[in-house]
Structure 1
Amino acid sequence: MGRSGGRGHGHRGALRAGCCLAAGLLVLAGCTSGGAPRGSAGGSARPSPTDTPSSPSTAGTGTTGAGGSPAPLVPELDEQQQPRDRAEARALLDRIVIDRDVFGPDVRRSTPFESDPGSWPVLGQDCVWRTAGLPPDVLATSTRQFHIPAADGHGRVRIHATVTVHRTREESGWETAHAMEEVLRCPNQVLRAGEQLTGLWGASLYLGEQLNGWSEDAFSESGQWVGNDSGGPQPYRWSQGQFGPVTVAVAGRGATGFTEEALVALIVQGTGRMMYRAGEALGKVAR
Structure 2
Amino acid sequence: MGQSRGKAVLRACGCAVAGLVLVAGCAADGTPKGGAASGTPGASAASGTGTPGTGGTGASTPAAPPGSAVPIPMPPVDESKQPKTAAEARDLLARIIVAEQDLGPEVVRSTPFESRPGRWPVLDAGCVWQTEGLPADVLATSTRYFHIPAKDGRGRVRINATVTVHHSREESGWETARAMEEVLRCPDQKLREGEELKTLWGGVFYLGEQLNAWTEDAFTETGKYVSAQDGGPYDYTWSQAQYGPVTVAIAAKGAQGVANEDLSSFVAMGTSMMMIQAKQELGKAAG
Task: Tell me the TM-score range normalised by the shorter chain.
Answer: 0.7 to 0.9
- The residue matched to 1:162 in structure 2 has which SS? strand
Q: Tell whether the 8 Å contact from 2:6 to 2:206 is kept in structure 1 after alignment.
A: no
Cα 1:128–1:63 shift into 2, 3 Å: closer
Percent identical among aligned pairs is 54
Which one-letter code corresponds to 2:207 in the other structure? L
Q: Quote how far apart the aligned CAs of 1:165 are.
A: 0.3
Query: Match for 1:52 among 62, 66, 69?
Result: 62
- Number of residue pairs aligned between Structure 1 and Structure 2: 260
Are positions 1:161 and 2:155 aligned together? no
Q: Deviations over 1:240-262 (max 9, x none)?
A: 00000000000000000112111
Are positions 1:223 and 2:194 aligned together? no
Q: Tell whether the 8 Å contact from 2:63 to 2:269 is kept in structure 1 after alignment.
A: no
| Structure 1 unmatched runs, 5+ | 1-10, 55-61, 65-69
Alignment of 1:71-82 (within 5 A): 71-82=71-82
| Structure 2 unmatched runs, 5+ | 27-31, 53-59
User: What residue number does 2:196 align with?
Assistant: 196
TM-score by length of 2: 0.84
Q: Quote how far apart the aligned CAs of 1:91 are.
A: 1.1
- Whole-Å separation in 2 of the counterparts to 1:14 and 1:117: 34
Determine which structure has greater relative contact order: mean sequence separation of CA pairs < 8 Å that are 6+ residues apart, divided by chain length. Answer: 1
Q: Tell whether the 8 Å contact from 1:37 to 1:265 is kept in structure 2 after alignment.
A: no
Q: Quote how far apart the aligned CAs of 1:16 are.
A: 3.1
Q: Quote how far apart the aligned CAs of 1:38 are.
A: 5.1
- Whole-Å separation in 1 of the counterparts to 2:286 and 2:115: 30
Q: Quote how far apart the aligned CAs of 1:41 are.
A: 5.6
- Whole-Å separation in 1 of the counterparts to 2:185 and 2:191: 15
Query: Match for 1:15 among 9, 17, 22?
Result: 9
Runs of 4 or more above 4 Å deviation = 35-38
Over the residues paired in the alignment, what is the CA RMSD in angstroms?
2.4
- The residue matched to 2:61 in structure 1 has which SS? coil
Alignment of 1:78-117 (within 5 A): 78-117=78-117
Are positions 1:42 and 2:39 aligned together? yes
Which one-letter code corresponds to 1:45 in the other structure? S
Which one-letter code corresponds to 1:125 in the other structure? A
- Whole-Å separation in 1 of the counterparts to 2:105 and 2:249: 21
Are positions 1:246 and 2:251 aligned together? no
